[in-house]
Structures are given as structure tokens and as C-alpha cells.
């Protein structure tokens, strides 16, 4: 498998889908919105974009399965699995806000080997492949080297379901408000992770995410020199619904903070 060449082909798919998403933004009205739950929305843009991506990826790797947000295709224990979020940040998109992104990752067995995140509004393509560095628009990116909380900027997201940890979540935010340069909530986990990879943020954490939200962003972050675990320091971040990501320099302190408030008691 030539992961580098495959990565460039996936970038073309993400860019093409991003152009479609961008072109449809002013055409959408309230009647086009389907409500999964109060804060979880979907439109024909999400569904059409996913079909475009899945159809294109099937041509690249016919033997692969899929874990995709809108259920266009499925995985049945194939050797290769694509993780696809056609529009990460749908609520931002519908309100005319950035960021929103196309997120695509590939796993070979249990190992992620490729990640592409295209931030549509800023026209930024983040990507990496097994054995390669992480890039943003053809420039190599690295995580920041800040190691003290008072020097860091943190990203997070707010759960839109599974509210059982909401009090602990707020307690963690209170701690970080007092001990860091600030907290940002941008609304696209894929982009947040890429911003950590690029050194714009120092860390990211969130509860109640899905595999398609984080697979590509985490892979890019790891290739850029970052680290990811679940809230208890384990490796169940892809399917476990909780994630702690940071630069290697800051990870020990940041993980300690998140584990204190959100780890299993």
C-alpha cells in the first residue's frame, strides 16, 4: 500500500466535497434541516457529501469497509476501514460560522495509517500518512512545545448528549479558566485536533464523541508529535467517546487535570 499516494488522492476527494459543501451553504433553509436531537442536526448536504466521499473511496480501495456518520456504508471486519465525517461542524455550517470540515481517515486493522481534514471555510488541508510528517497546505506542522498550563490555550467541545458528566465537565473548565490562557470551543473536533497538531492550541478534550469525529484529527496530531488517550490514560479514545489530546510537552500536566475531574472515580 502506497499510503502517500493514497493520501493525495483522498485530499482530492476531500477538496471536491468541500467545494460542494461551500457551494450549497447559501441554498439551505430551515426546511432542509432534520433534527436528530436538540443540538444534533443533519441536512441533504451532509448526506450527499457522504455519498460522494464513499463512492469515490470505494473506487480507490474497493475492499475497504466504512464507519460513516450518516450510515451510507458499513464495516464488516474488513482489513481496511475508512472513517468518514462528511461535515464535521454542521451546526456551525448552518449558522454561517467556521470552522466546519470534511474528515477522512483510514485504518489497516487496528492501526490508523492515513488522515485528511479539510477545513472548508479557511481552505486549509491538514493531512498525513503512515511514515510521513503532518502537513497543512503543504507546510510541515508540529505541535507546540509549551509545557506549563499558564502558557497554554485549550480547546474543548460541549457534549450534545450523554450529559451524565456535565457537572464534572464544568468543574474541569473552571480549573482551566483559572490556570491557562483560555478555553476555546470551535465546534469541529476534527479541526480542534488539527489545530493542536499545528501548535495553535496546546490541548483538546471532549466527552461524547464518535470515531468519525476524531480518527483523522488524532492521526494527524500523532504524526505532528502529540499524544492522545481516554480520560483514564487508556487507548479507548476512538470508540470510547472520550478524548484527551495534547502536545507531548504539555500532555502529562494536562492529562492530570482532565483525569482528576473526568476520569473514573
60 is in an annotated binding site: no
User: In DSSP terms, which residues pair with 85 in a beta bridge?
Assistant: 103
87 is in an annotated binding site: yes
How far is residue 118's CA from residue 17's CA, in Å, rounded to a whole number?
9
Residue carrying the nine cell digits 473548565: 173
Burial class (CB in 10 A: 0-12, 13-18, 19+), 23: exposed
How far is residue 85's CA from residue 190's CA, in Å, rounded to a whole number?
9
How far is residue 66's CA from residue 54's CA, in Å, rounded to a whole number?
8
> Strand 226-229 relative to strand 203-207: parallel, antiparallel, unpaired?
unpaired
CA-wise closest residue to 73 among 199, 212, 167: 212
192 is in an annotated binding site: no
Cβ proximity of 237 and 218 under 8 Å: yes
For residue 195, give the C-alpha cell. Answer: 489545530
Half-sphere exposure of 132 (CA within 13 A, CB side): 24
Residue 70 region, left (φ>0) first, then alpha (ψ -120 to 50), else beta?
alpha
Cβ proximity of 173 and 101 under 8 Å: no
Cβ proximity of 41 and 94 under 8 Å: yes
Binding residues for Mg(2+) are 69, 85, 87-88, 213
Binding residues are 69, 85, 87-88, 213
Amino acid at each position: 500500500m502506497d499510503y502517500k499516494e493514497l493520501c493525495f488522492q483522498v485530499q482530492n476527494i476531500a477538496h471536491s466535497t468541500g467545494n460542494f459543501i461551500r457551494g450549497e451553504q447559501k441554498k439551505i433553509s430551515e426546511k432542509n434541516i432534520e433534527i436528530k436531537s436538540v443540538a444534533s442536526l443533519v441536512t441533504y448536504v451532509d448526506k450527499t457529501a457522504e455519498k460522494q466521499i464513499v463512492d469515490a473511496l470505494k473506487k480507490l480501495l474497493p475492499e475497504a469497509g466504512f464507519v460513516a456518520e450518516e450510515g451510507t456504508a458499513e464495516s464488516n471486519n474488513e482489513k481496511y476501514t475508512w472513517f468518514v465525517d462528511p461535515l464535521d461542524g454542521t451546526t456551525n455550517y448552518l449558522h454561517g460560522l467556521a470552522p466546519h470540515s470534511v474528515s477522512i481517515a483510514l485504518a489497516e486493522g487496528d492501526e490508523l495509517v492515513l488522515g485528511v481534514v479539510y477545513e472548508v471555510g479557511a481552505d486549509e488541508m491538514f493531512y498525513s500518512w503512515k511514515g510521513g510528517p503532518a502537513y497543512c497546505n503543504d507546510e510541515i506542522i508540529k505541535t507546540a512545545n509549551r509545557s506549563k498550563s499558564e502558557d497554554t490555550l485549550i480547546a474543548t467541545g460541549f457534549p450534545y448528549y450523554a450529559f451524565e458528566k456535565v457537572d464534572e465537565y464544568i468543574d474541569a473548565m473552571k480549573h482551566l479558566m483559572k490556570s491557562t490562557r483560555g478555553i476555546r470551543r470551535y465546534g469541529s473536533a476534527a479541526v480542534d485536533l488539527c489545530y493542536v497538531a499545528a501548535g495553535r492550541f496546546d490541548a483538546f478534550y471532549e466527552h461524547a464523541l464518535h470515531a468519525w469525529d476524531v480518527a483523522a484529527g488524532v492521526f494527524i496530531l500523532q504524526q505532528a508529535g502529540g499524544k492522545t488517550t481516554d480520560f483514564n490514560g487508556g487507548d479507548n479514545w476512538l470508540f470510547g467517546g472520550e478524548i484527551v489530546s495534547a502536545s507531548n510537552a504539555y500532555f502529562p500536566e494536562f492529562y492530570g487535570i482532565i483525569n482528576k475531574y473526568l476520569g473514573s472515580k
